[in-house]
Amino acid sequence: MICDQVRPFIDRLPAREWTREMRAAITKHVGSCTRCKQALEAVTAMEAEILALPEIEAPGDMAEAIAARIAELPAPVQATEPVPKPSPFKDLRPWAALAPGALTAFAASLYLAISGGQTPELVNAKPMGGWLERMAEMQHAGPGVYVLAAGLVLFAIGLFALPSTDNA
């Protein structure tokens, strides 16, 4: 490493924030560069002086004053568990509410489309291609109709369950 690479780390980044690799590179460089070594020593000395500055005592009655103020307050809300971190999948939750309904409806529609091929004469004879009539009259489609209805209901519930974007 050369001075121009090392010096920004010495000047700009506190030593505590150096990575192991940075520290190794800087240590190696200052072993052979007097000027960078002096710069590092100056920064280190300054940091040590800041640390050595005295700390003042809190007022003697501060703890009692805090205890007196707390005594007048209700007990804090109990929360023995740590605060949960936000889920990285948070943004996907609204769509997860819709997914079961949509999947069920899709599966039922697929089933009906396949089963419907057994009664082709009804398709062209009725409004909407005879879709409703076909569903009602097809013996094989009975369970599929119920599943489709359930899927549509689930989808509708999912739509209502979507949280408002105002709270996001």
Partner 1 sequence: MERDAVLSVRSGDRNAFGRLVALHQRRLFSLTMMMLKNAAAAEDIAQEAFVRAYTHLDRYDAERPFYPWLAAIAVRRAQSWMRRHGRESVELDPEAEPAALDDPLEMLVTSESGRTLWDAVEALPAAQRTAVFLFYRQDMRLADVATALGVTGGTVKTLLFRARQTLRAAIGPENQESHP
Considering only 21, 34, 51, 168, the residue that binds partner 1 (CB under 8 A) is 51
Q: How far is 45 from 52, CA to CA, in rounded Å?
A: 10
* Using rule CB under 8 A, residue 12 touches partner 1: yes
Distant-in-sequence, close-in-space partners of 6: CB < 8 Å, separation ≥ 6 = 25, 26, 29, 30, 33, 36
Name which of residues 63 to 82 contact partner 1 (CB under 8 A). Answer: 63, 65-67, 69-71, 73, 75-80, 82
Q: How far is 128 from 146, CA to CA, in rounded Å?
A: 20
* Least Cβ distance, residue 60 to partner 1 (angstroms): 10
Q: Which is nearer to partner 1, 52 or 128 (CB)?
A: 52
* Using rule CB under 8 A, residue 59 touches partner 1: yes
* Using rule CB under 8 A, residue 2 touches partner 1: no
User: Rounded to a whole number, what is the largest CA-CA distance in the chain?
Assistant: 96
